[in-house]
Amino acid sequence: MPQKTKKTPMMEQYLRVKQQYPDAFLFYRLGDFYEMFYDDAIKGAQILELTLTTRNKNAAEKIPMCGVPHHAAQNYIDTLVDQGYKVAICEQMEDPKLAKGMVKREVIQVVTPGTITDTGAKEAKENNYLTAIHQQADHFGFAYADLSTGELKSAILDSPEVLLNELLSLRTKEVVIDDSVTEKALTVIDPLKIMISHQDNCQISAETSYAMQDIHSDLEQAVLSHLLTYLIRTQKRSLGHLQKAVHYEPSDFLKIDHASSRNLELLQNNRTGKKHGTLLWLLDQTKTAMGGRMLKQWLERPLLVIKKIKLRQARVKDLLDHYFERSELRDELTQVYDLERLAGKVALGTVNGRDLLQLKQSLQQIPKIRYLLTTIDDGSFKKLLTKIDPVAEVVDLIDRAIVDDPPMSVTDGNLIKEGFDQELDKYKDAMKNGKRWLAKLEADERQATGINNLKIGFNRVFGYYIEVSKANLSKLPPDRYQRKQTLTNAERFITPELKEKEDLILGAENKAVDLEYRLFVDLREQIKDYIKRLQQLAASVAVLDVLQSFAVVSEQQHFVLPELTKKHEIEISAGWHPVVQEVMGQQSYVPNDIRMPENLNILLITGPNMSGKSTYMRQLAQTVVLTQIGCFVPAKKAKLPIFDQIFTRIGAADDLIGGQSTFMVEMQEANQALKHATQNSLILFDEIGRGTATYDGMALAQAIIEYVHDVIHAKTLFSTHYHELTSLDQNLKQLANVHVGAIEKNGTLTFLHRVEAGPADKSYGIHVAKLAGMPDKLLQRAAKLLADLEIQAHSSSQTKASLHENSSPKPEDQQLSLFVPEQVPLSNQQQQVIGEIKQADLVSMTPLAALNQLFKWQKELKQK
């Protein structure tokens, strides 16, 4: 930290600015470098691998310093932001050569993880959401924005769990809070390791009021105003492309909590964390980045309203029925760039000539796309067609102004077409004439001197010059040439008339470059007026792209149009798990039926390990999701109701919140379902109870099944290895057994992967252990123990009441162990200690007294 010694005016200025941005690295522009000082420098040098120096080596206070060249700053900024830091960019606001006294400097932007707009090609199909929270009692105003696309949404969330779910599914990197957010709520956010930024005082401007126009609740207005204030404070530029905030209700969509979405591998592969091997991966045949992002959003929020689902289905069907037009449409879409982000760049002022050409090229595809869509349309695309607007005015503006091959930079000229602006044409003419004059001068001089290799050149230091090789110097007339520079083999000269022309040419060039920049900015401002139309077009193209992607996948994968029913029944013939089949190949996959008529709510699935129970369960969930996003589904025939929520408890999920045992996570996930599921939900429970002792687990599993059966009535698939549970079908009318078949022959097991009615006859766990390559000796021992246990179970079952008739397992049965310890009777001493422990009044004991007591008991036991 800076000490209290006298500072130079520049360091005083630095500290004044830094004080306003204590949570960001301050990149302080000094000539061609951005410099960091003090702690920023120490930490920055370490992260960015820069050399740490000191600013004033000889002074008493040494100021740590490091810097990056301004032209390479972007990479360094990206690295810092990627690692979860903010960077405040402080620029020189005047030309140092012209400044009187200290050069004026200002922070022009704070780059933060949630506000990056240039996410690069790798993340083109990802949104980068900045989120915000405002709390009132147990309710949260919640909002999110993607600065690169202008999307802005808000909602009221009524519990910390829903909040956590929204934050997780949006994969936000930064959340803005104000002081309404309680410590308790922060403990929900903390483990997610996202950046928490604070914004307390809200400023309402014309821009922010516009964005909040359609939002009426106080809670959402509060959260939007601090989100928008934060954006204005960090971006310090126009946010004109932010769309009007749209209110959404999480309950308007099929609810799949984050754990279930992970279990089902909708967007993320559980093993690799990547897209490969997920439903998103299978479905993504989109051709545009906008379509890619939209597909993800649809997968995250499947629909509930039959009418909306049917509209998507009808559109997919129209696209499916028109193979050739669809292929052409796909070709056209390939040539559409990211309109949404291009519009964002126009608004943010970061667009360059090449971006504008991409915008023009994309818009030029639209009439053809429109035409193709009208030929495909059988009525379903009527409304979408009205929004596919080619914004011809923008094409015309760009076409008239921008050359066909503009440079990256917008400040170096060569951007604007001839004929666009008279004044610019004049300068360009002057430049051209000047150059023609130079060419003529070169020819004349060659003739006059007889030096054939005499040439006219240009460099930044001397301007235009005449170059003559040393061998020819003697041929030059003595007075006319003024020597300027000597090279090894040549001399360079100027003449008064050459200097005069040079002023004209260079003057025209500078003026042309300045004017081109002004014309470019002007054009950018004109295009800004069309941003809303461009955004509407982008959203419609994105929708079309996702729909064509559904059509392509449905065709390639032989999906069928599912029938939506208002009855509480599921009927799937020859269905399959689309991702597993895609990975393993169609030949080897065994399709299966799922039949759950109105009077059957629970399927209890048994079968060996590895036989396909989880796959069967996930297959149903993925089919439900596919149905409710409007896609066709993997089956020969499918009839499904609309589900409101999907709950899963499958596999050993990692514990996101941290520190809980697998069994605890298992119980929490099951509890989520039991608490929130309705009759219209889908529940998948995979081997509930296996995380604890056998009878404990079995008892819990039975109680859960009974609860779902009697209280919730949701369609439920429940897989289990507890064969005892299969007799539940005798008492529970809405439960049926199915099993996944396997054949055992000569001690080897063949999985059939076919789901059939009735319970499995045994578990085959030892066969699977054999498949896993366990030692023979161990397997023989296990087989022997199993046989003994089965005999014991058989004899005790004759006397014991059956488990589902409310018998509770005896405590000594609770933990089955392969290696039962020898039973040794307790000593008197031990019994006495146990007695004392039972008696001890722990509530009124101080921690120290308890510790002393424990110490005493331990000593007594050791004395035994």
Ligand X SMILES: Nc1ncnc2c1ncn2[C@@H]1O[C@H](COP(=O)(O)OP(=O)(O)OP(=O)(O)O)[C@@H](O)[C@H]1O
| Min separation Cβ 859 and ligand X, Å | 48
Determine the interface stretch with ligand X among 99-107, 182-190, 562-570, 583-591 (rule: CB under 6 A).
Answer: 583-591
Q: Is 611 annotated as ligand-binding? A: yes
Rounded CA gap, 436 and 289, in Å? 47
Give the Cα separation of 282 and 633 in Å (integer): 12
d(CA 139, CA 142): 9
Euclidean distance between CA atoms 816 and 763, whole angstroms: 17
120 or 585, CB closer to ligand X? 585
608 is in an annotated binding site: yes
The residues in 675-734 that bind ligand X, with binding defined as CB under 6 A, are none
Nearest residue (CB) to ligand X, 337 versus 616: 616
Which C-beta is closer to ligand X: that of 37 or that of 589? 589
When the beta carbons of 448 and 757 are compared against ligand X, the nearer one is 757
Q: CB–CB of 522/369 below 8 Å?
A: no
Q: Could you give the C-alpha distances from 784 to 484, 766, 789, 814, in angstroms and in order?
A: 103, 11, 9, 21
Cβ neighbours around 485 below 10 Å, total: 14
Q: How far is the CB of 770 from ligand X (least distance, A)?
A: 14
Length of the chain: 864
Contact 329, 545 (CB under 8 A): no
Confirm or deny that 225 is annotated as ligand binding: no
Spatial strand order of the sheet with 455-459 comes to 455-459, 463-469, 490-494, 482-486
Least gap, CB of 625 to ligand X (angstroms): 18
Query: Residue 305 carries which side chain, given as an amino acid letter?
Result: V
Between strands 645-649 and 682-686, the pairing is parallel
> Has 609 been labeled as part of a binding site?
yes
CB 243 within 8 A of CB 208: no
Helix (H) or strand (E) holding 669: helix 662-676
Which residue, judged by CB position, is nearest to ligand X in the bound state? 612
Q: In 3D, which of 29, 14, 39 has the Cα closest to residue 67? A: 29
107 phi and psi, to 5 degrees? Answer: -75, 125
Closest CA to 370 of 398, 329, 409, 401: 329
Residue closer to ligand X by CB (options 270, 485) is: 270
Rounded to the nearest whole angstrom, what is the least distance from the CB of residue 607 to ligand X in the complex?
A: 6
Residue 294 near residue 542, CB atoms below 8 Å: yes
Residue-wise DSSP of 495-561: -HHHHHHHHHHHHHHHHHHHHHHHHHHHHHHHHHTTHHHHHHHHHHHHHHHHHHHHHHHHHHTT-BP
* Degrees, nearest 5: CA angle 637-641-642: 125
Amino acid at 576: W
For residue 614, say whether it is annotated as part of any ligand binding site: yes
Query: Helices 38-48 and 73-82: crossing angle, nearest 10°?
Result: 90
Give min distance, CB of 240 to ligand X, in A: 51
Check: CB of residue 316 under 8 Å from CB of residue 554. Answer: yes
Report if residue 524 touches ligand X, rule: CB under 6 A: no
For ligand X, the closer of residues 50 and 574 by Cβ is: 574
Q: How far is the CB of 588 from ligand X (least distance, A)?
A: 6
Which residues have C-beta within 8 Å of that of residue 318, sequence separation ≥ 6? 376, 377, 378, 380, 381
Binding to ligand X (CB under 6 A) within 747-776 occurs at 753
Q: State which residue, 535 or 614, has the beta carbon closest to ligand X.
A: 614
Report the amino acid identity of residue 365: Q
Report in angstroms how near the CB of residue 742 gets to ligand X at its nearest.
Answer: 10
The DSSP H or E segment spanning 371 is helix 353-376
**744 within 8 A of 771, measured Cβ to Cβ:** no
C-beta of 570: minimal distance to ligand X in Å? 17
Q: Which positions from 242 through 271 interact with ligand X, judged by CB under 6 A?
A: none
Strand partners, 65: 37, 53
By beta-carbon proximity to ligand X, the closer residue of 278 and 609 is 609
DSSP three-state, residue 433? helix
Question: What is the smallest separation between the CB atom of 596 and ligand X, expressed in angstroms?
Answer: 18
Among 615, 681, 720, 726, binds ligand X (CB under 6 A): 615
Q: Which residue, 586 or 796, is less far from ligand X as judged by CB?
A: 586
Q: Is the Cβ of residue 416 or residue 602 nearer to ligand X in the bound state?
A: 602
Residue type at 282 in one-letter notation: L
Q: Is 614 in the site for ligand X (CB under 6 A)?
A: yes
Q: Restricting to residues 584-613, which ones interact with ligand X according to CB under 6 A?
A: 584, 588-590, 592, 607, 609-613
Rounded Cα gap, residues 314 and 294, in angstroms: 19
Task: Give the binding-site size for ligand X (rule: CB under 6 A).
Answer: 15
Minimum distance from CB of 189 to ligand X (Å)?
34
Q: Which conformational region is residue 599 in: left (phi greater than 0), alpha (psi within -120 to 50 degrees), or beta?
A: alpha
Shortest gap between Cβ of 615 and ligand X (angstroms)?
3
Cα Rg of the chain (Å, integer):
37
Rounded CA separation 593/605 (Å): 13
Residue with Cβ nearer ligand X (420 or 663): 663
Nearer to ligand X, 474 or 588 (CB): 588
Contact yes or no for 621/646 (Cβ under 8 A): yes
In angstroms, what is the minimal distance from the CB of 528 to ligand X? 53
d(CA 673, CA 682): 9
Nearer Cβ to ligand X (501/613): 613
Provide the mask over 553-582, with x wherever binding to ligand X is found by CB under 6 A and - wherever it is not: ---------------------------x--
Least Å distance, CB 380 to ligand X, is 34
Binding-site members are 607-614
Q: Which residues contribute to the annotated binding site for ATP? A: 607-614
Residues that bind ligand X (CB under 6 A): 580, 584, 588-590, 592, 607, 609-615, 753
